[in-house]
Amino acid sequence: MKKLRRRSILKTGVGAPAALPAVGRAPHAAADGTSRRAFLEGGAGAAAGAAMILVTPKVASVALDAASPSASADSAAVVTKPSGPAPHEPVTAYVRNAERGEVTVMSGKQETTYRDPVLVKRLLDAAR
Amino acid sequence: MSSHREAPEISKDPVADNTDTYAFVSPDSPETVTIITNYLPAEVPAGGPTFFEFGNDVLYKIHIDNDGDGRSDIVYEFSFESAITNPNTFLYNTGPIGSLGDPNWNKRQFYSVTRVDRHGKDYNVKVLGEGLACPPCNIGPRSTPKYSALAQASMHSLPGGQTVFAGQRNDPFFVDIGSIFDLADLRPFQNLHLIPTAAAPGVDTLQTLNVHSIVVQIPISKLTVDGSVPTNVMSSKAVLGIWGSASRRKVRIADGANSEHSEVGPWVQVSRLAGPLFNEVMIPMSLKDEWNSRHPVDDADFLPHVQHPELAKLLPVLYPKVFPNLEALSASREDLVAIFLTGLPAGVVPGFQNSTGKVLAEMLRLNVAVPPAGEPNVLGIIGGDLAGYPNGRRVIDDVTTIALRAVAGVTYPLVQKSYKPDAAAGAITQGITPLPFRSQATFPYLAAPHDGYDFPSSTA
């Protein structure tokens, strides 16, 4: 199985590697601009925020790789104290279905569900 | 009621709880429509020290469907942010608040208004206003001695002849909540209830309580599908579907380190409201929050609860021998389907229709070609006043009496002429005469909120 790269997780939907097949994307007016349902659920509130937030994970992932070249490696998680308060709109992931290896990632006002058993396993390990 | 704390989850989230939606052709400006969405149910005027405000983490929306498909064609979005000007005081204000810029006013709120138009697959997004000031809450004679001036200064003009207000007002909805939810204690036959009580006058439960209102007045030409100002009541272009909603971000992270919270994820609708009493009376408790999360275009899923409403079955049980014809009525209540889900088609009420077609969608349906009534009847269409509920909804409309009479069978002859409603159905009344101060004749049509000094408790 292809190794998981943290940077790829931080990316939202666009350009997701083959190891992270998107199995569901929340409707979003700014993302596709075509869905009537997206209009109902997202509207301008979603559109206005998305452009700003789409940049954030990329910036974060680049900074992470630069600061710690080993971050891309499949290293064990280390318990640490939070270095500060939660950011304004933190990239957030949760295990949606452990048996199916589904993890949902939210960034800004976007939400994407991936099938990624490796990441799910790491999250479950960290939860123990 | 009409949608105050109506569902288990939203009852715990007052700032997102859409309590009432109103839509009517403005009586003093008949080339415009006024739409009101109220939130924050049952605000006790004495709400210090923090008093009340809109949710900064809530996206408030007013939706307009102008082509009858049950989907939003136009959305007005309202986003709020608060400011504390003096971080060193516990007080809402450190002296009388004489103006919206008064330095004595410590805890303020501002908002933006954005209009989104859908054109097929494209969306036109336009910010109509930013940094618009809300008025303060009405504190009392020392703090807000000239409240009407503060409220007047909070009415903002928007481009295109539009006007907006967002802030605290007196809740205009008049209903005897304590009576109705005590096993449907209805007047004038309390003594005929299965558990009888002596006759007693109705109580206007919300009379001295406040609410937070978003009021927007919009030229009709900016709402219709072709930009026209319809004058033909029978034209489908004259009918607008209207509802309000509130949404929250999907994830909220409470961070004890700084006593704030972070949010992420798409907006998720947690409250919606169009017609009064629909979610309360028609939808079972177990489905109320789900209904709040859905959109009108999905309302076919709830059709059985309209065709065979629980309350219509309860009334003959609770009032033995009072509603014999209703008890015998087992057919689908297509009259209620029309009132709530499709609008009244032409030919049912002479000279009137507010049908939006076959799509089952719970919306207020306002026929903008019907001019404001010179002498409004609080019973709206069943009282012979075509400008009142269920043609949109005015502040003065006695929607509780109208809805109870309709469920009790008064409107069933509209679809089945041979049905004879029980005499009791047409006699149902709330027993409430709203006091004159419960509304006002001009924008924002809602009366000033009660202040906490003069109305220190809800029994004042």
Q: Do B121 and A33 touch (CB under 8 A)?
A: yes
* Cα–Cα dist B263/B246, whole Å: 16
Q: Do A33 and B116 touch (CB under 8 A)?
A: no
Pairing of strands A102-107, A110-115: antiparallel
Cβ distance B203 to B186 under 8 Å? no
* Residue A66 confidence class, pLDDT cut points 50, 70, 90: low
Q: What single letter denotes the amino acid at residue B196? A: P
* Residue B254 confidence class, pLDDT cut points 50, 70, 90: confident
| Out of B1-10, B115-124, B134-143, least confident range | B1-10
Q: How far is CA B169 from the centre of its chain?
A: 13
Using CA coordinates, name the residue in chain B closest to A112. Answer: B265
- The token duo for A109 is 């006002």
Average pLDDT over residues B206-219: 96
Q: Which residues pair with B237 in a beta bridge?
A: none
Average pLDDT over residues A96-103: 96
Mean of pLDDT over chain A: 62
Of A39, A107, A109, the CB nearest to B123: A39
Average pLDDT over residues B89-97: 97
Average pLDDT over residues B101-130: 96
Total residue length of chain B: 460
pLDDT over 90 (residue B299): yes
* Shortest alpha-carbon distance between residue A43 and chain B (Å): 7
* Residue A49 confidence class, pLDDT cut points 50, 70, 90: very low
| Out of A22-26, B131-135, B225-229, B357-361, least confident range | A22-26
Mean of pLDDT over chain B: 95
Using CA coordinates, name the residue in chain A closest to B254. Answer: A86
pLDDT at B258: 60
Residues of A with CB under 8 A from a CB of B: 26-29, 33-34, 36-37, 39-48, 82, 84-92, 106-111
- The token duo for B440 is 């006002």
pLDDT at B146: 97
- The token duo for B90 is 């516990």
- Chains A, B: CB contacts under 8 A, how many? 93
Average pLDDT over residues B138-150: 98
- The token duo for B182 is 């005590």
CA distances from A112 to A25, A57, A127, B275, B314 (A): 5, 14, 21, 35, 46
* Residue B198 confidence class, pLDDT cut points 50, 70, 90: very high
pLDDT at A29: 36
pLDDT over 60 (residue A72): no
Q: What is the pLDDT of residues B39-92, one digit of tens each?
A: 999 999 999 999 999 999 999 999 999 999 999 999 999 999 999 999 999 999
Of B71, B123, B264, the CB nearest to A89: B264
Q: Residue B23: how many CB atoms within 10 A of its CB?
A: 28
Residues of B with CB under 8 A from a CB of A: 59, 61, 63, 71-72, 75, 77, 79, 114, 116, 118, 121-123, 125, 247, 249-251, 253, 255, 257-258, 260, 262-269, 295, 297
pLDDT at B259: 65
* pLDDT above 70 coverage of chain A, percent: 41
pLDDT at B188: 92
pLDDT at A76: 74
| Out of A1-10, B17-26, B401-410, least confident range | A1-10
Q: Of A60-64, A70-74, B176-180, B440-444, where does the model show the most confidence?
A: B440-444
Average pLDDT over residues B257-266: 81
pLDDT over 90 (residue B434): no
Answer with the residue of higher pLDDT: A61 or A47: A61
pLDDT over 50 (residue A114): yes
* Cα–Cα dist B35/B218, whole Å: 8
pLDDT over 50 (residue A19): no
Average pLDDT over residues A45-74: 47
Q: What is the pLDDT of residues A76-93, one digit of tens each?
A: 788 998 888 888 889 999
Cβ distance B359 to B67 under 8 Å? no
Q: Do B72 and A86 touch (CB under 8 A)?
A: no
| Out of B281-295, B345-359, B410-424, B428-442, least confident range | B428-442
Of B63, B125, B250, the CB nearest to A44: B125
Q: Do B266 and A87 touch (CB under 8 A)?
A: no
Residue B316 φ then ψ, to 5°: -65, -25
* Shortest alpha-carbon distance between residue A61 and chain B (Å): 18
CA distances from B96 to B103, B140, B141, B148 (A): 10, 9, 9, 14
pLDDT over 50 (residue B414): yes
Which of A28, A35, A39, A107 to mutate: most B Cβ within 10 Å?
A39
pLDDT over 70 (residue A46): no
Cβ contacts (< 8 Å) between B253 and chain A: which residues? Answer: 86, 90, 92
Cβ contacts (< 8 Å) between A87 and chain B: which residues? Answer: 262
Using CA coordinates, name the residue in chain B closest to A12. Answer: B265
Average pLDDT over residues A42-50: 37
Q: Of A41-45, B260-264, B368-372, where does the model show the most confidence?
A: B368-372
pLDDT at A68: 55
Average pLDDT over residues B423-442: 90
* pLDDT above 90 coverage of chain B, percent: 90
pLDDT over 80 (residue B447): yes
pLDDT at B437: 84
Q: Do A34 and B121 touch (CB under 8 A)?
A: yes
CA distances from B356 to B235, B261, B366 (A): 10, 42, 10
pLDDT over 50 (residue B327): yes
Pairing of strands B32-43, B18-25: antiparallel
Burial code of B316-327, b = ≥16 C-beta within 10 A, e = fewer? Answer: bebbeebbebbb
pLDDT at A8: 32
Average pLDDT over residues B296-312: 97
Q: What is the pLDDT of residues B346-383, one digit of tens each?
A: 999 999 999 999 999 999 999 999 999 999 999 999 99
Report the run of H or E that residue A50 belongs to, with start and end: helix A43-67
Average pLDDT over residues A5-30: 37
* Shortest alpha-carbon distance between residue B388 and chain A (Å): 28
pLDDT over 50 (residue B133): yes
pLDDT over 80 (residue B226): yes
* Cα–Cα dist B269/B290, whole Å: 10
Q: What is the pLDDT of residues B178-193, one digit of tens each?
A: 999 999 999 999 999 9
Of A43, A90, A106, the CB nearest to B77: A43
